[in-house]
Chain A
Amino acid sequence: MTDIAAGVQRRESRIVRTLKGLALIRESVVGMIGLALVLFWVAMAAFANQIAPFPPNATLYPLAAPGEFVEGMGTFWLGTDHIGRDILSRIIHGSRQVLLYAPLATLCAYLVGIPMGLAAGYRRGATDGVLSFISNVILSFPVLVLYIIIIATIGASGANIVVAVTFASAPGIFRIVRGLVLDLRNREYVFAAETRGETPWRIMLVEILPNARGPLIVDACLRLGYVIITIGVLGFLGLGLPPPDPDWGGMINETRQMAMSFPHMTVFPGIAISSLVLGFNLLADGLREVSLRD
């Protein structure tokens, strides 16, 4: 067998190993509940057009109570809002927005935070000093205020939410990665790679990063939960996705004045947000539990 073939086999087996590690989640009850919740919403988002009983923005019949049957239209299982839109359909379609922008924003934050953390932890010295200073400055802002300043400055849109989340989350990720790298850089396989004369970025990405994946996957799940809450909060503050497309936080904001009289308009989107956040948090707990068992 050649060296190259051995390398390919080794890399394949690393991916397989990671997947096998993730598959251990089935041994954690908490993790399985979380996974089920997340998969439920993924299915809702994927088949929204087939599942939702009505178009999400159609103004059908205002102020229907949950479960109310309207002749010629059908049953509004979760009721309708003040301008007659079916809340169930809006929640189902709203899951698409959340499940598109939350993972996208988290991914972007990782794409920025990981290289920063690798560079700071591996190189240390001036690189570490500068990057740590920048991230400390950003982290010293209250995170909600930071979001509001960013969104209010650059405007509310899906892409801008991604930008804001990246900006506000990357320093936290940077810190985690940096801490992990400071430990991993003293391992023997890193010295071996250095001795082989491999470039620093190859060492960081091929030798160090894969060995830091465990805590990072757990962190990503938790972070996804925070990002979902953030998107909800921004929507509630009127800084979320522009109307009329359904956005869970925006749905609560639009109807909160009527929350005393028509609680169903705010309660159901609230349940949707919390169930998805809970799903990701339980999944993170399960993964942590499984990883500690290794």
Chain B
Amino acid sequence: MKKEIKDENGKRVHPYVPELCEQLRKGELDRREFLRTATLLGVSAGAAYGMAGKILGEPMVKEAAAAEDPKMGGTLRWGMQVQEMTDPAKFDWTEKSNVARHIVEYLCRTGSDNITRPYLAEGWEASDDLKTWTFKLRKGVKWSNGDDFNADDVVFNFTRWLDPKTGSSNIGLFASMVEEIDTGKKDDKGNAVMGKRMTAGAVEKIDSHTVRLNLNSAVLSMPENLYNYPTAIVHRRFEAEGGDLSKNPVGTGAYALAEHRVGDKAVLKRRDGYWGKKPFLDEIVYVDLGEDRAAWLAALASKQVDGIYQFDVNQLDMAERLPGVVVHTATTAQTAIARMQMDKAPFDDKRIRQAVQACMDHEKLLQLAYRGKGAPGEDHHVSPIHPEYAKLPVQKQDYAKAKKLLADAGHPNGIQITIDVGNTSGKWELDAMQAFREQCKPAGIDLVLNVMPSSQYWEVWDKTPFGFTSWTHRPLGVMVLNLGYRSGVPWNESHYNNPAFDKALDEASAILDVNERRKKMETVQSILQDDAVALQPLWRAVFTATSDKVKGYSTHPTFYHQFNEVWLA
């Protein structure tokens, strides 16, 4: 039996923590990765910062402390699309969650420094095999309707997320708590139709403020998953009371919804009785400035709003010149993927997909479409800023290979393919695809661009055979792979289905040691890259802008808003 290790307060420490400290000392881990992994294993953020400080001889640094004294009061006006806000479990736009994030809260919270900290859960412990996670819930937290927040709320939310009838993307995120079952139905070909359901006993209420999660396979990113934007904790009677947050905004958050008009504005007012530190702002108003991002920056410059959700790389030069405007940049794992559905002609032929892939010069696309701000993509959707990223051999543009693959696939004279482009994350998408179209020409591939409004694109994003879809940043590479590429999950837009990939991803998701995990990720990334379902021109940096009156704000890599620390000068 392993010896239990305890910290100075007598609390059990995960046995991997000393190993982590050793790796940090030897320089095998950087400070950020150490903090991230240690906090994931249940070490409090303060203690982890302290350990890192001791080892590296640096002073203890807390998350972005404000230099000036914060002022209470005021109304923060933020330019962002105001969308419907019915069911947090079914959110598919970050903007929806930004309004909701001030009303309902999460078990954990990942800061703009990519470190995950306790939130509604005051702490957690993982078993050595990472299959059992115990979350201690914060006591004294009250819902805005006066009820106590407790384990029943958490059990209700998990049960709801993992019921396929809910239609939440969380069922993919928490795949290790779900099992596949035969629904008893047959499809047209007489094959059994498989369904999913929550594994019996996956969520266990230990006492009124303790919940245990029992997983089928080891998962490292459980706390980070619990800040993924559709995992906000709603009240245990959410469904019984109508299942619509915008009509019945019961939450544990610091703000109450005063007004919500889709396409117009959302008004949040600070409420009394919040469990945490009292936020500075009296009121937060989200103003819908329409879809045209050029207008957003103009609204900021003319002081109609104090901050904007984001602006495009094309506006960078202008934004930096505006008086009284501060530009915030974040390095992210945000990207867009030219993904091909592997069950639709002609993309059901791997050689066609690989031929298109061979035409792509990623580095050049980064320069042309994103002014070189970000990193070149590698067609496996794991970013160099993800801790488990494994460096694969650099891909080269290879027209001879592309032509040979096309000829082998029966298209010696070239092929015409059409890609849907919705510019859902900005005009850079069209720029990238226009440049890619030119790159495809020498191989005899005629890439036709079907440009559509972004709202129209979101109606077809998972249906079109070939589309360019934007993906938001997630702190770990395995998170996005589990969401978007595992067989059968709702957001698997390329209909990717490769058991070898699923198995390798399972294995990688279960390894705690970053260096070991990276070795497994090499296999995962190689399989995905070789299958060429997801062509990825680039990873992009993102930009937001605020007035210089806005203090205490830093851009979250995923544009998650939480204005509890923000104040107005």
A residues bordering B, Cβ < 8 Å? 57-59, 62, 82-84, 238, 242-244, 254-258, 260-262
The answer to whether A83 and B317 have CB atoms under 8 Å apart is no
Given contacts A82-B314, A83-B434, 8 further A-B pairs with CB under 8 A are A62-B368, A82-B368, A82-B371, A243-B430, A243-B434, A243-B449, A254-B431, A257-B293
The answer to whether A260 and B321 have CB atoms under 8 Å apart is yes
Which residue of the partner chain, among B314, B371, B435, B438, contacts A257 with CB atoms under 8 Å? B314
The answer to whether B315 and A57 have CB atoms under 8 Å apart is no
The answer to whether B317 and A258 have CB atoms under 8 Å apart is yes
The answer to whether B312 and A257 have CB atoms under 8 Å apart is yes
The answer to whether B293 and A84 have CB atoms under 8 Å apart is no
> B residues 282-340 with Cβ under 8 Å of A?
293-294, 312, 314-315, 317-318, 321
Q: Evaluate whether A238 and B451 lie within 8 angstroms (CB atoms) in the complex, with A83-B369, A257-B294, A257-B312 already known.
A: yes
Question: What would be 27 A-B contacts, judged by CB atoms less than 8 Å apart?
Answer: A57-B437, A57-B438, A58-B438, A59-B434, A62-B367, A62-B368, A62-B371, A82-B314, A83-B368, A83-B369, A83-B431, A83-B435, A84-B435, A242-B451, A243-B430, A243-B434, A254-B427, A254-B430, A255-B314, A257-B293, A257-B314, A258-B314, A258-B317, A258-B318, A261-B318, A261-B321, A262-B317
Cβ contacts B434-472/A at 8 Å (1 or 0 each): 110110000000000111000000000000000000000
Tell me how far the C-beta of B524 lies from the nearest C-beta in chain A, rounded to whole angstroms: 32
Interface residue tally on B, bucketed by range: 20 to 34
- A residues within 8 A CB of B437? 57, 244
| Of B318, B364, B368, B437, most A-chain CB atoms within 10 Å | B368
- A residues within 8 A CB of B293? 257
> B residues 319-377 with Cβ under 8 Å of A?
321, 364, 367-369, 371
The answer to whether B315 and A257 have CB atoms under 8 Å apart is yes
Tell me how far the C-beta of A55 lies from the nearest C-beta in chain B, rounded to whole angstroms: 9
Nearest CB in chain A to that of B435: its residue: A59
The answer to whether A260 and B434 have CB atoms under 8 Å apart is no
- A residues within 8 A CB of B427? 254, 257
**CA separation between A256 and B434, bound complex, in Å?**
17
- B residues within 8 A CB of A261? 317-318, 321
Cβ contacts B220-263/A at 8 Å (1 or 0 each): 00000000000000000000000000000000000000000000
**CA separation between A242 and B371, bound complex, in Å?**
24
Nearest CB in chain B to that of A58: its residue: B438
Lowest 7 CB-CB distances: which A-B pairs, in order? A261-B317, A257-B314, A244-B434, A260-B318, A83-B368, A59-B435, A83-B431
Nearest CB in chain A to that of B438: its residue: A59
Tell me how far the C-beta of B481 lies from the nearest C-beta in chain A, rounded to whole angstroms: 30
> B residues 409-436 with Cβ under 8 Å of A?
427, 430-431, 434-435
The answer to whether B367 and A258 have CB atoms under 8 Å apart is no
- B residues within 8 A CB of A242? 449-451
The answer to whether A258 and B369 have CB atoms under 8 Å apart is no
Nearest CB in chain B to that of A253: its residue: B427
**CA separation between A244 and B440, bound complex, in Å?**
13
- A residues within 8 A CB of B451? 238, 242-243
Nearest CB in chain A to that of B441: its residue: A57
- A residues within 8 A CB of B431? 82-83, 254
Which residue of the partner chain, among A57, A238, A257, contacts B434 with CB atoms under 8 Å? A57
- B residues within 8 A CB of A62? 367-368, 371
The answer to whether A258 and B434 have CB atoms under 8 Å apart is no
**CA separation between A83 and B364, bound complex, in Å?**
10
**CA separation between A82 and B318, bound complex, in Å?**
14
> B residues 455-500 with Cβ under 8 Å of A?
none
- A residues within 8 A CB of B312? 257
Tell me how far the C-beta of B3 lies from the nearest C-beta in chain A, rounded to whole angstroms: 60
Tell me how far the C-beta of A2 lies from the nearest C-beta in chain B, rounded to whole angstroms: 59
Cβ contacts B87-105/A at 8 Å (1 or 0 each): 0000000000000000000
**CA separation between A83 and B368, bound complex, in Å?**
5
**CA separation between A258 and B321, bound complex, in Å?**
12
> B residues 360-396 with Cβ under 8 Å of A?
364, 367-369, 371
Nearest CB in chain B to that of A261: its residue: B317
- A residues within 8 A CB of B368? 59, 62, 82-84
**CA separation between A238 and B368, bound complex, in Å?**
21
Tell me how far the C-beta of B216 lies from the nearest C-beta in chain A, rounded to whole angstroms: 47
Tell me how far the C-beta of B338 lies from the nearest C-beta in chain A, rounded to whole angstroms: 15
**CA separation between A261 and B449, bound complex, in Å?**
28
| Of A62, A255, A257, A261, most B-chain CB atoms within 10 Å | A257
The answer to whether B315 and A258 have CB atoms under 8 Å apart is yes
Nearest CB in chain A to that of B294: its residue: A257
**CA separation between A287 and B310, bound complex, in Å?**
53
Nearest CB in chain A to that of B368: its residue: A83
- A residues within 8 A CB of B318? 257-258, 260-261
- B residues within 8 A CB of A258? 314-315, 317-318
| Of A57, A82, A83, most B-chain CB atoms within 10 Å | A83
**CA separation between A238 and B364, bound complex, in Å?**
26
**CA separation between A261 and B319, bound complex, in Å?**
10
Tell me how far the C-beta of B426 lies from the nearest C-beta in chain A, rounded to whole angstroms: 9
Nearest CB in chain A to that of B439: its residue: A59
> B residues 531-555 with Cβ under 8 Å of A?
none
Tell me how far the C-beta of A62 lies from the nearest C-beta in chain B, rounded to whole angstroms: 6
Tell me how far the C-beta of A244 lies from the nearest C-beta in chain B, rounded to whole angstroms: 4
- A residues within 8 A CB of B435? 59, 83-84
**CA separation between A242 and B312, bound complex, in Å?**
22
**CA separation between A260 and B434, bound complex, in Å?**
23
**CA separation between A214 and B179, bound complex, in Å?**
81
- B residues within 8 A CB of A256? 294
- A residues within 8 A CB of B367? 62
Tell me how far the C-beta of A150 lies from the nearest C-beta in chain B, rounded to whole angstroms: 16
The answer to whether B449 and A244 have CB atoms under 8 Å apart is yes
**CA separation between A262 and B315, bound complex, in Å?**
10
Cβ contacts B521-534/A at 8 Å (1 or 0 each): 00000000000000
- B residues within 8 A CB of A260? 317-318, 321
**CA separation between A82 and B426, bound complex, in Å?**
14
**CA separation between A86 and B294, bound complex, in Å?**
24
**CA separation between A238 and B312, bound complex, in Å?**
17
Tell me how far the C-beta of A247 lies from the nearest C-beta in chain B, rounded to whole angstroms: 12
**CA separation between A256 and B317, bound complex, in Å?**
13
- B residues within 8 A CB of A57? 434, 437-438
**CA separation between A44 and B554, bound complex, in Å?**
52
**CA separation between A62 and B317, bound complex, in Å?**
15
- B residues within 8 A CB of A84? 368, 435
| Of B293, B321, B451, most A-chain CB atoms within 10 Å | B451
Tell me how far the C-beta of A236 lies from the nearest C-beta in chain B, rounded to whole angstroms: 12
Tell me how far the C-beta of B411 lies from the nearest C-beta in chain A, rounded to whole angstroms: 22
Nearest CB in chain A to that of B292: its residue: A257
Nearest CB in chain A to that of B369: its residue: A83
Nearest CB in chain A to that of B447: its residue: A244
Nearest CB in chain B to that of A59: its residue: B435
- A residues within 8 A CB of B369? 83
- A residues within 8 A CB of B450? 242
